[in-house]
């Protein structure tokens, strides 16, 4: 089982011809109201990737709460540890340009009231997985990691939005997932010089004993663990919207590891899932199902190891 401890939002998404610069107003023809939030996105991604998933978070007592949870509920994500609180449901304001790139402003709302104490409502088994992001209070993230480590759970952190990770929290993690920008911010927090995404990921992994997975957009993903560099290309798609690509990668990676896959095949599976999420508009509506991910991952695996490849005796 995967327990996702994190944010639940409603996304207000406008498609625009170009992303606005500072002080600029850009007009879009319409907007959509779509379930989102990094925590909820990753929970749905893990569920669609074949895992049993429980969501721990908070929503407001308002009109956005039900739609924010609608796709999680429809997918069969366990929601008993989602708390209604006296604050507005979190909202993300998202602009998406013609190339599928995005610009996001998040209002935390109820996500600021998420508490690690809600994890006590769940009864995980040893080697289940806790998956977290950085859209809920830092103190609660640390408390959740302590709770998980005391129960022998695998602990995965997506350090997004970008920033440092305290040493105490780093010592509780098994895997950290970041993009090419976020890994540099993570490295800076550990006092590492900028040696590029690859070099910084390797240094963090070696120094802190973590698996460090880095998403690289169209270039795929890499992961450093135990001194070994794993890599996967992206699955080729026509990019429509990159909003949920990183969250889909995280949920799929957690699902693959939770099902016992090794890092190499888990990375391939996650890269395929993240790529597929770019081919449709919206956050949660773009997240692919297990059949689609397996098909794309099989193509990536075949590229890595062609059936007619000769090996040297």
Catalytic residues: 247
Q: Would you say 272 and 68 are in contact if contact means Cβ atoms under 8 Å apart?
A: no
């Amino acid at each position: 089982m995967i327990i996702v401890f994190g944010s639940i939002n409603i996304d207000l998404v406008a498609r625009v011809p170009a992303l606005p610069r500072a002080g600029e107003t850009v007009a879009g023809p319409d907007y959509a109201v779509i379930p989102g939030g990094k925590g909820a996105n990753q929970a749905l991604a893990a569920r669609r990737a074949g895992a049993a998933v429980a969501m721990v978070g908070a929503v407001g007592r308002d009109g956005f709460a039900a739609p924010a949870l609608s796709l999680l509920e429809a997918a069969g994500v366990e929601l008993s540890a989602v708390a209604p609180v006296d604050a507005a449901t979190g909202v993300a304001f998202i602009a998406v340009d013609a190339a599928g790139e995005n610009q996001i402003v998040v209002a935390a709302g109820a996500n600021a009231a998420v508490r690690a104490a809600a994890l006590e409502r769940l009864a995980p088994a040893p080697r289940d997985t806790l998956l977290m992001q950085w859209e809920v209070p830092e103190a609660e993230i640390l408390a959740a990691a302590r709770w998980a480590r005391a129960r022998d759970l695998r602990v995965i952190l997506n350090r997004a939005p970008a920033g440092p990770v305290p040493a105490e929290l780093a010592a509780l993690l098994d895997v950290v997932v970041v993009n090419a920008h976020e890994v540099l911010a993570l490295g800076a927090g550990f006092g590492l010089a900028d040696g590029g995404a690859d070099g910084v990921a390797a240094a963090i992994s070696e120094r802190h004993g973590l698996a460090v997975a880095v998403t690289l957009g169209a270039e795929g993903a890499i992961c450093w663990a135990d001194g070994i560099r794993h890599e996967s290309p992206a699955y080729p798609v026509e990019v429509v919207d990159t909003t949920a690509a990183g969250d889909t990668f995280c949920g799929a990676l957690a699902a693959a590891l939770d099902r016992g896959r090794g890092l190499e095949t888990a990375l391939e599976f996650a890269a395929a899932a993240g790529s597929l999420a770019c081919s449709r508009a919206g956050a949660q509506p773009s997240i692919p199902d297990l059949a689609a991910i397996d098909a794309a991952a099989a193509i990536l695996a075949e590229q890595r190891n062609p059936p007619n490849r000769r090996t040297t005796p």
